[in-house]
Amino acid sequence: MAPSNNRVADGLLASAHDSAVHDGLRLAVPCYLEAVDALIAEDRRDEATNVLAELLVAKEKRRGFFLGKRDQNPLGNQRPSVATKYAQLTRGFAPTETSLDVLNQIAIEFPDDFDVRVANAEALRQSGYLLDALDEYKYCKTLRSGDVDLDATLGEIYRQLGRDEDAVAQARQALSEYAKAGNDDAVSNLAVRMLEYAPNAFEESFDAFASFSAQTLEKHLAGDGKISKLEQDIDQLRLKFEDLEAKLEDVLSRMSRSEASAAEAMSALKRVGQ
């Protein structure tokens, strides 16, 4: 572990280790949790996450009156809250093999803990397990049916899986709900994303932008090159439609020439038969 300029967390960790050695891990749990809070306060998230992971997977021998000696996790009734804290800390960061294993374990153990399930879904998606992530996000949706961010995320996963129709349907639903809630940031971001992966849904995107005031458009589209990106998307759409129009004109022209040739052939046959 790298030394810290602030010795509070290091001291608490050392005290927790000593307590675990002398009193057993179960009695040392409060010391470890205090050390975790100190690590978080010192912005040492990775170390805090590692400590929680070790606590969640730890086993120690305990003797029961009826069952004799058995391995048992030392967290006891604090295990649900520790699982939730671990899930919250892992969100937004690249998953590791350890975090994937721990998240999978606690997702099975606490199936209705939203923080745990959505952290597991996010880790699966980031690791490329898209079908597993899709199922997990769908389950999260049953826990929080009104969470529109989940709809947007499901649309992205469908897009990654090549299921364009499902992606568009999910994105349209999310766009509608964001607009109803007045979430202009989410509306503008999703509308631009829809133009990228669902050109056939451009009407919804343009309708979303049309609903904005001039001030709102400037606020949400002026930064980060969004307007430039939007112009590029529109130009690409225009080129696609122009190309399609040219192809249709070519087909119609050939059909017209074919019909004219057929008419000439019929006329010639008639003259031969006369």
Is residue 111 classed as helix, strand or coil in its secondary structure? coil
Q: pTM for the complete prediction? A: 0.71
User: What Rg value do the Cα atoms of the chain yield, rounded?
Assistant: 30
Q: Largest Cα–Cα distance of the chain, in whole Å?
A: 118
Q: How far is residue 142's CA from residue 138's CA, in Å, rounded to a whole number?
A: 7
CB 174 within 8 A of CB 190: yes
Res 4: pLDDT: 45
Distances (CA, A) of 5 to 10, 147, 232, 244: 10, 41, 49, 64
At 70, give phi and psi (nearest 5°). -155, 155
Element (H, E) at 170: helix 164-181
Of 9, 62, 57, 60, the C-alpha closest to 33 is: 9
3-state secondary structure 32-93: HHHHHHHHHHCCCHHHHHHHHHHHHHCCEEEEECCCEEEEECCCHHHHHHHHHHHHHHHCCC
Q: How far is residue 249's CA from residue 244's CA, in Å, rounded to a whole number?
A: 9
Identity of the amino acid at 46: D
Res 213: pLDDT: 61
For each successive 10 residues of the chain (274 residues), what is the average pLDDT? 63 92 89 94 94 90 56 86 96 93 96 97 96 97 94 92 88 84 78 68 62 60 56 65 67 64 64 57
Res 125: pLDDT: 96
